[in-house]
Structures are given as C-alpha cells and as structure tokens.
Chain A
Amino acid sequence: MEHPPLISVEGLSKRFPTRAGDVHALEDVNFSIPRGSIVGLVGESGSGKTTLGRCILRLVEPSEGRVMFDGQNILDLPPKELRALRRRMQIIFQDPFSSLNPRMRVRTIIEEGLIAHRLGGTSRERRDRVATLLEEVGLQADHMTRFAHEFSGGQRQRVGIARALAIEPEFIVADESVSALDVSVQAQILNLLLDLCEARNLTMLFIAHDLSVVEYLCDQVVVMYLGHVVENGSTALVHSQPAHPYTTALLSAAPVPDPFAGRDRNILKGEIPSPLSPPSGCVFHTRCPLMVEHCRQAVPELRAVGGRRVACHRAEDVLAMGPATGAAATL
C-alpha cells in the first residue's frame, strides 16, 4: 500500500471484569483501514465486533494495545487533544429508534456536534448547514423542525447519517447501520452511504452480520470469532476463496436468495463458546470440522496465506479444498 493507513489497530485487547471472571471480548486484534476505503467487520453476536468498533473510537477504553489514527495513538492522548481528534471521527448506530433523542427536534440533533466543536458559526449559518445536510442525505430542509418519531425507520437512519456527517469527519464507524431496515429501504441507505463515501472521500468501518451487504459495500473484510481476527483481506478474495474454516461456514450459512442455488452445505455445529472461558489453542477448534490435535494446544497466528491474512493452522488445506462446502454467498 502506497499511503499509510488512516487507522491502524495494533495488539488491541479488551477484557471486561465480571464476578465470574474476565470476559475476553478482544484478544490481540491487528488490522488496518486504508484511507478512503470501506472495511467490513463481520462475525456472529458475541464475536466482539461492536466492542472493537467502540474501542477504535475510544468510546470503550481498551485493556491493551494501540489504535493509530493518522499516526497518533488515540489511546494515550490527553483529553484536550483527544477532543480535537474526535472531530474527525463519528459513529452511526444500528437502531435509528433509540439513537435519536425523542425530545429533540431534528435540527437540534444535527447541530449538537457543530456547537460542541464550535464549528457552526451563527445560528443562521448552522441552520443553513443543517438544511444542506438534510438535502444531502435525501430528506427535505423543512424536516429540521420535526421530531424523530415523525419519521419512518429509513428516514431516521438518514437523520442519523446527517448527524454523523455534520462535523465533516474523515472516519465513520457504521455499527449495523442497515440491519434494522427493510430490504428496499436498506438498498436506498446502502446507495446513500456509497455516494457519501465517494463524494467526501470518507473512510469507513462497516460492522455487519450480513455477509451479502459486506460483499456489496466493502473493499476489505475482517472476520472475527470470539474476540480474534480469523481472516482479513480483500472482500472479493475472501468471499470467493475463504481460507479459514469459520469464514467458509459463515459464507455457507448465509441464505442465498436464489431458489435454484445448490443447497449442499456445511452447517456449523454448536454455538459460539462463552468468552468467560474461551477454548484453548485455536478458539474455533470446538466447532471446526478440520480440527486436529495441534489446534487444541497452539494458538494460530495471523499469517499471510494466498494474498490475505488468516489465523488457521490448516489454512493451506482449506484453500486446497476450495469453497467445496457448496453454496458460497455468491449470487
């Protein structure tokens, strides 16, 4: 890569202490997000993807590791400098029903960030800015006097996007931002996100559980399982030739909207283990169809195999078998 990445996550770990012991939410996570790209973060619930998104914005304080934002480690910045850096990053939440304050008018919601960062100028200037933003996300300027409950789910998500864009961030974390939407509305919002990313040269971390959305939207994908990155590479490559058995299983479990597609697939047995006591060795070994004795003992390192990074002792074997598990999530 010619340019240094905008975001670089290095050795990031997060443990939540509980009475029953530590919850290992993230374990030694390493990956980077190139400037201007969209990186997808996928995994089942409990894989740590939301925690990772929040650690990167320092909304959650990580236990160990570094998050480099444009060359600065945001984890050891003093509050004042962190605040200046925060202006360059934003988050769009999953649920447009609970992430907008029901007592605020849309204008207040959107201009709050402008005021907090002293960017807005006079009240009239802020008003004009809100109007422009609303139009940019496909709403109307006169919507600014309304309350959140007066909008449909898709429109609310547009308000959430306008709010995030108000302070002109360079980096956005979209945490399951289209998951709660109906498919026709979801398509509108995906198009909008693509338009905005291209027009404003945004860098985005797109957290999702829907692999087809990630395949459509993202340049790169990070697959997580139980707090570990198990595979990371270009979306096209990972989707067509997964090298980790978990990626293979995830792709094959995704329902394919084609009744004529093959239904011969490998269904993963069991469920994600508890992060209170993660399995020894490779955390996936308890559900892995390719498990050998070595996997129980040695933690696989994230290493380069066939053009991507993968954490599996048997990645070469997985690649050699091909996406033989039947229906991959390609249409």
Chain B
Amino acid sequence: MHTSSPPLAPPTLEVTALQTSFIYKRFSVKAVRDVSLRLERGKTLALVGESGSGKSVAALSLMGLLPPAGRIVGGQAVYRQADGTTHDLARLQRRQMRRLSGPDLAMIFQEPMTSLNPLLTVGDQIVEMLLTHERLSREAARKRTLDILRLVEIPAAERRIDDYPHQMSGGMRQRIVIAMALVCNPALLIADEPTTALDVTIQAQILDLMRRLQAELGMSILFITHDLGVVAEIAHQVAVMYAGEVVEQAEVGQLFSSPAHPYTQGLLSSIPHAMRKNPEEGRRARLNPIPGSVPPIHALPEGCTFRPRCPHSEQRCTLPVTLETAGPGHRTRCWKWEAVQWSTRH
C-alpha cells in the first residue's frame, strides 16, 4: 500500500474519500459522499453529526456490516496492524473481515440487546468469542472471561457470569458488550453511540471505564456520537459530519475554541447553557440555532451543502468545495474558514 502520511507514527486508521451508496432497483442514494479520517494509535477520534449525517453508515462501512443494499463505491480505509501490515477495510472479503474482527477490530452499538443473544448466558457468549479467535481450553476461556468482567467492573462477576442478558440492567449490559468487544484485545474499537441510551450517571461510569481501558490496553477508538458534551469528555480528535461529508477535523481543543466551519460553529452555539433573565427586559436570552434543517440526501444543493443555512454564504459557495488546511491537523471544507474563525472570536 502506498503511503504519503506525514511523519510521526503512522495512524491506526486512515480513511480517504470514502463513499457509500445504497443501491436499489430504481434509484440509489449516496449516504456517505466524502469521508476522510485519521485516527492515531492509542487515541480517540469522535465522529460527530446529527441524524442523517451518515456517521453510522460510515462506521458500518468500515466494519463490513452494511445492509445488503449498501455498497462502498469509492475511497479506501487503511487499517494498520501493530506490525505494520495494512488492510483496506473498504475492499476486504467477508472471510478476511471475520478474521480481523475480534483480535483487531471490535464494535459496540447503542442498544446492547442488539449485540447480545438472549438465549445464552453472558459468560457463554464471551467464551464463544474467545474460542473462535484463540486456541484456548474452555476452562482457560472461562477464566479470561471472568478477568474481563472484573476489568469492566461487573460487581460479583463470578455470579453474574452465569446470568442471562435480561437479568441485567441497561448499564450492566453495555458493560458486557464492552467486555465482549475487548476480550480479544482489539487494536481498534468502533463505538456507535455507546452511551446514548443510558442515564447520565451511568454514562459517566461508562465513559470513565472506556478512558481507563484505553490507557491500560492502548487501543484506538472511533467514537460516534451526536453529543458534543460527550465529545469534549472523551475525544482527542474530532471529525464533524454534515450531509454525508466530513466538513471539519481538528484536535478537540482547537475545534471547540476556534471552529473553522460554519456548521461546527452553529452546532456549538446551539448547546443550551445558563442564560439568566435580563432584568431590564424581563425576557430570557435566546439560543442561536442554525436556521432550517438538513437537506434531504436526494436533493442536496450544489457546491457547499451547508450553503442554504450558512450565515457566511456567498456566490462562490455554489462552486465545488475542497478541504482547506486551517492549521496543523485542522482541515475544513469551507474556503471562508478565516472569516468563520474571526467571527467566533468576536
């Protein structure tokens, strides 16, 4: 695989111009139109976007889990193993993908019950995972399972190992799913909204657990979420998606303090925060939301897809947009990024 990556250690995952379409008999839909991402070894990259932005389809493409109508129609997704071997996830056959998932790649989803078999005890499910990928005796696998359950802080693990999923709470089930994902010590974990269905106190526990496990096991995490609060908690790098494209990627502090795309800027100013009543006017201050809504994917505007909702738009924005560099490791799909950054500061 040819590489032109900048210095430092090569990234665990480098996605370039990924395109995924859903192809039906009469029509097709481009769900992911241009996604480029760079995930460094041992770091967390948050992929942020609102519903319909294509973030989940992008993740499913990487894992080879697209539904039958979904096809990767362009781009590449280079996964690099610790020994330097590379695999293009966009082109892997199902069999090769199956060999990688577990020891190299793992995925966790929003709703833990979709990943758990209700007819098997949680212990048996994890044991089965181990026996598939590693040469182990059943007893050794059970011991490893017990260890991983303790690692994800399941209380009374030696008793809970023989429980069925329905005997556990949502937070416990998500811990089981995390345990199952991590038991083969994957180098890359893809987590699709893993805490969205949980209460904030449980979410705080799970985020804390993921941070700790990353520090201990050194895995890279691609964390898909719509919640900018969660992004600020867990991510080192952030990529923002809008209408099937990554519109900005930056280091987390950079993204929050000086966003270089008007969509990112709009998202940040939509976050509710304490605003007191103005005593003179007797009226509360209002949030500053993005006007309008996301365009339907089959009727995207020409040029910049954010143009119809953008306060900075002008004639030139109807022309095709390219990725611009707004700083080290900071890319944006807006040619007016300097004006955008300036307007955030003032």
A contact residues vs B (CB 8 Å cutoff): 44-45, 152-155, 182-188, 190-191, 194, 198, 209-213, 215-217, 236, 239, 249-250, 252-261, 263, 265, 267-272, 330-331
Contacts and interface: CB of A to CB of B under 8 A. Distances in A.
Nearest to A260: B253
Nearest to B270: A187
Contacts of B226: 182-183
Interface in B249-308: 252-253, 256-257, 266-276, 283-284, 286-290, 293-294
Given A191-B287, A216-B275, A260-B253, A186 B229 contact: no
A211 B229 CA distance: 12
Contacts of A267: 201, 204-205, 208
A10 B11 CA distance: 61
B201 A44 contact: yes
A17 B155 CA distance: 30
Contacts of B232: 255-259, 261
A258 B200 contact: no
Contacts of A213: 272
A155 B286 CA distance: 19
B283 A255 contact: no
B200 A44 contact: yes
Given A44-B200, A267-B204, A184 B253 contact: no
Nearest to A213: B272
6 contacts: A182-B50, A184-B270, A198-B283, A198-B284, A250-B201, A268-B205
B60 interface: no
Contacts of A212: 229, 271-273
B231 interface: yes
A183 B204 contact: no
Nearest to A274: B169
B272 A190 contact: yes
B200 A216 contact: no
A271 B171 contact: yes
Nearest to A246: B201
A257 B228 contact: yes
Q: Which 6 A-B pairs have the closest CB atoms?
A: A255-B229, A187-B289, A216-B272, A187-B270, A182-B50, A253-B204
Contacts of A45: 199
Nearest to A195: B286
A192 to B, nearest CB: 10
Contacts of B266: 184
B274 A236 contact: yes
A284 B37 CA distance: 44
B202 interface: yes
A331 B205 contact: no
B207 interface: yes
